[in-house]
Amino acid sequence: MIRRLALLALLVALVAPTGSLAAEPQFRMSDIESELMCPTCQSRLDMSHSPAADRIRAFIEERRQLGWTEQEVKDALVADFGPAVLAAPPAEGFGLVAWLVPLLAVVGGMAILIGAVALWRRRSPPVPAAVGAAPAGAAADPAIEARIDAALAALDDAER
Amino acid sequence: MKRVIVIGVAVALLALGVIVVRAVVSSSDARGFPARAAAGERPAAPAFDLETLDGTGSVSSADLRGSVAVVNFWASWCDPCKDEAPLIEDLWRTDGEPQGVVFLGIDTQDLREDARAFAETYGLTYPLVYDEGGAVARAWGVGAFPETFVLDPEGRAVAWFPGVVTAEGLRAAIAKAQAGG
């Protein structure tokens, strides 16, 4: 009999910590608050002090103390306030659009930019040889050189 | 190639423009509903179909047709709603049910369990529905709580009360809706 009682006490001792762990908070308030919206003020929950936001915070804290996970709390809030209570839309169903549109816009914008630059480069007229820099070692036009020399000589004469 | 780019950009800009215009028009329509009701234009109330707060059924805007209806938007966290709830309940008992006037409380932007506790605390016996996600409140242009609308039998708003109603004001609006003028 004593042995059975001792065994029972041992089992209770082993089970007790597990039971108390189940009610341990699974997440931090600051983490979930930044991922939720205040439904009445259209700002993030951690930036709102409206009565509705205060009540939602109290609801979260109550559930947190009961050992709910962050996802369970979010699911409960979405059930009452709709998906708009989430700061970031879920990456599924219609919410996926909110993730894909910016991505497609960036990819599409880059494609348009690259295409436009390629088109302009192909269509732009060749740079005239006289305007561009002469290739290294290439001989300059003798006529132009003669005119430059004459102009420089005239400038020197004028300075004297 | 150039033509494809130009067409692509034009289509994208057009789509963006349509989205922006639709958002602005829809937003201004919703904001305009209470103002038009206050101006005496009798705008048609936006349609809805909502589950009752106790989850046992539903009430739609079509159900209100044929009777004068008092539609009250509230939330459990709203302090003025706590002052107003007993008044609405009294009016429902004295001026609503006996005269065939429908009273409907729309709880919105609220936790369902809080709303049920609120209804029990204040002993609300008139029909209550739950606006999950707040879409109906937005469609009606409700910006603060409480807000109350009085509809004529055709579902047009004859009066709008931002804030807590007064018994005299609500009775006068009900009489106006019943008279049809």
The beta-carbon neighbor of B2 closest among A51, A79, A119 is A119
Domain A22-85 falls in which CATH fold? Answer: Helicase, Ruva Protein; domain 3 (1.10.8)
| A145 SS3 class | helix
Mean pLDDT of A21-47: 88
High-pLDDT (> 90) share of chain A, %: 34
Mean pLDDT of B141-154: 95
Lowest mean pLDDT among A40-44, A138-142, B101-105: A138-142
Q: Does A62 touch chain B (CB under 8 A)?
A: no
pLDDT at B113 over 70: yes
- C-beta atoms of B110 and A80 within 8 A: yes
pLDDT of residue B19: 62
| Minimal CA separation from B48 to chain A, in Å | 16
Mean pLDDT of A65-75: 95
3-state secondary structure chain B: CHHHHHHHHHHHHHHHHHHHHHHHHHHHHHHHHHHHHHCCCCCECCCCEEEECCCCCEEEHHHHCCCCEEEEEECCCCHHHHHHHHHHHHHHHHHHHHHCCEEEEEEECCCHHHHHHHHHHCCCCCCEEEEHHHHHHHHCCCCCCCEEEEECCCCEEEEEEECCCCHHHHHHHHHHHHHCC
Q: Tokens in use for B142?
A: 């409700």
Domain boundaries, chain B: 3-179
What is the C-alpha to C-alpha distance for residues B154 and B66, in angstroms, rounded to an integer?
Answer: 6
Domain B3-179 falls in which CATH fold? Answer: Glutaredoxin (3.40.30)
Domain boundaries, chain A: 22-85, 91-122
pLDDT at A111 over 90: no
Q: Does A117 touch chain B (CB under 8 A)?
A: no
Interface test mutation site (partner A, options B114, B116, B142, max chain A beta carbons within 10 A): B114
| Minimal CA separation from A24 to chain B, in Å | 24
| Minimal CA separation from A80 to chain B, in Å | 5
Contacts of A73 in chain B (CB under 8 A): none
Q: State pLDDT tens for residues B66-91.
A: 999 999 999 999 999 999 999 999 99
CA distances from A33 to A12, A74, B9 (A): 37, 10, 39
pLDDT of residue A18: 47
- C-beta atoms of A84 and B133 within 8 A: yes
Say if residues B137 and B60 touch (Cβ distance below 8 Å). no
Residue A39's H or E segment, with its range, is none
pLDDT of residue B160: 97
- C-beta atoms of A81 and B5 within 8 A: no
The yes/no answer to whether this complex scores an ipTM above 0.90 is no
Confidence of residue A17 (pLDDT cuts 50, 70, 90): very low
Q: State pLDDT tens for residues B10-65.
A: 776 776 666 655 655 555 555 689 999 999 999 999 999 999 999 999 999 999 99
What is the C-alpha to C-alpha distance for residues A5 and A91, in angstroms, rounded to an integer?
Answer: 54
